Every structure is written in structure tokens, then in C-alpha cells.
Amino acid sequence: MVSTAQAGQAAPTQAVNAAALRLEHEAVPAEQSVANSPTTGSARLGEFKGLEVGVWEMSVGTMTDVEVDEVFVVISGRATVTIAGQDEPLNLVAGDVVTLRTGMETEWTVTETLRKVYLA
């Protein structure tokens, strides 16, 4: 994880380059890792109206998760996200905007390191 101080919290008149931000990765917990030992990294950039704003990245591999309310924009990479109870998976690429809801059970299969900017 990168702290807000390291990430350079964006002030109203500053910008943070989310694509170039250095993220330190950690192994996905064993109970969530499905294939290829993925890692994740994130940086909290600040808050907006009480919601956390940050950058998250996952390396190639497959993991499961239980989501929180979140909106995110994919800025690089490729992944397929399968959501329990939905017939069609989400095929994510740069530029996609996605909304997830608290309690959704997901499986993330990343085929090209995925980076997103999120609001949660």
C-alpha cells in the first residue's frame, strides 16, 4: 500500500497522474486467490463528499471478492469480472465505467494488469 502522503493527495488545484502512480503490491490472501497468485496494490488519494477516492491495481491472475458500493473507471489493462447471479460477465478494458454494490460476490480474472480509479 502507498500512503496518502506518498501518493500525493490531490488538492483542489493539483493533479495526480493515476496511470504513473507507483503502487506497492501485496499477495492476495490465500482464501481469495483462485489462480496464478495475483497481487494487488492501492493508493488512497483523498475524499470527496465523504467517499474515498483512490487508485487500485491487480496483476494477472484470478481472485474472488465481496464488494462494497463503488464506482470506478478502468484506466489500463483487461479483466473479466463474473458477478454471482448475473448471466453475463463484465469484460473490462480501459475507459469502462462500472458500478458495484455492497455484498456482490465477484470473481476477477485479470489477463493484463488492471488499474482503476475508484470512488467508494
CATH value at residue 47: 2.60.120.10
Express as a percent the part of the chain with pLDDT over 90.
Answer: 88
At residue 12, does pLDDT exceed 90?
no
If one counts the domains in the chain, the total is 1
**Amino acid identity at 114:** L
More confident residue, 1 or 114: 114
Question: Chain-centre distance of CA 81, in angstroms?
Answer: 12
Range of the domain at 69: 4-119
Q: Is 51's pLDDT higher than 60?
A: yes
The band of 95, judged by pLDDT with boundaries at 50, 70 and 90, is very high
pLDDT band at residue 14 using 50, 70 and 90 as cut-offs: confident
Q: Are 45 and 54 in contact (CB under 8 A)?
A: yes
What distance in Å separates the CA atoms of residue 61 and residue 56, rounded to the nearest whole number? 15
- Given a cut of 90, whether residue 2 has pLDDT beyond it is no
CA angle 60, 85, 101 (to 5 degrees): 70
